[in-house]
Amino acid sequence: MNKKLICLDMDGTVYLGDHLFKGAKETFEYFKQNDISFVFLTNNSSHSLPFYVNKIKKMGIECNEDNFYSSIETTIRYLESRRIKNIYVLGVKTFKDELKKHFNVIEQYDEKNVPEVVLASFDTELIYDELKTACLYIQKGSEFIATNMDYRCPIEDGLYIPDCGGLCKWIEMCTDKKPLFLGKPEPTMIYQVMEKFGVSKEETMMVGDRYYTDIVAGINAGVDTVAVLSGETTLEQFKKADRQPTFIIESIKDLVSLLKK
């Protein structure tokens, strides 16, 4: 199998919490030995790229910022392409600080200063007044955009916490407005990294555990997809899907055998 770029999800695919899945380290060593590039694609906007680099390195996988691409980069590129200037953000401080380098981020509610966009993200620092302000701005005409549609974020012991998609459901119930989602399953992130690494669709593969984000993103981008059973979506759920993954494997430890075919 002639693959030159492997796009991977992280949580539920390579690790869970701080636990690296068995065989993951050997898989990345195989990438290096065979000159295969890899990029982690994350919908999580609550952490900066240096955070992820440090986390993955601590797990024993050699990497740098070029090996990561997040919904933060996709969101900035999209808003800049639209020439958006004024935004209200539901997100953690580090995300807001990054956005402030590119846009005017409104901090307080002002009914006379309605922003062009209300941007929702994975917000672990959310307080009620922020949610209220977002709903009011959307009802007054702000466009509703979200970094990703993940409803929940996996943590250890098989438990979950609310993610951006879950937050957006609250807003939707209040405003009757659905957001435009920018991260996976939209193919934009994959297109952008393919362009960055100069590879074709045939040379690219998407690996992930979540059907409605990871796998559908790969299908939408027209690349081969590999579903792993180490995360959220079960084998039965994958088999019931309208659009099937190209391959289904137990976990990332089986990826090398697949690539050798």
Give pLDDT tens digits for 160-194.
899 999 999 999 999 999 999 999 999 999 999 99
What is the reported pTM? 0.83
**Whole-angstrom Cα Rg for the chain:** 19
CATH architecture of 5-43+184-259: 3-Layer(aba) Sandwich (3.40)
- Tell me which amino acid residue 217 is: A
Residues of the chain with CATH 3.40.50.1000: 5-43+184-259, 82-181
204, 223 in Cβ contact below 8 A?
Answer: yes
**How would you classify the pairing of strands 68-70 and 37-42?**
parallel
pLDDT value, residue 20: 93
CB 163 within 8 A of CB 152: yes
Say whether pLDDT at 136 is over 90: yes
Q: pLDDT tens across 149-162, in order?
A: 989 887 777 788 99
Nearest to 86 by CA among 142, 21, 39: 142
Each residue's pLDDT tens digit, 82-134:
999 999 999 999 999 999 999 999 999 999 999 999 999 999 999 999 999 99
% of the chain surpassing 90 pLDDT: 87
193 forms bridges with which residues in the sheet?
A: none
> Which pLDDT value is given to residue 98?
93
Both structure tokens of 227: 């579903």
- Tell me yes or no: is domain 82-181 CATH 1.10.3720.10: no
pLDDT of residue 171: 98
Per-residue H/E/C for 32-57: HHCCCEEEEEECCCCCCHHHHHHHHH
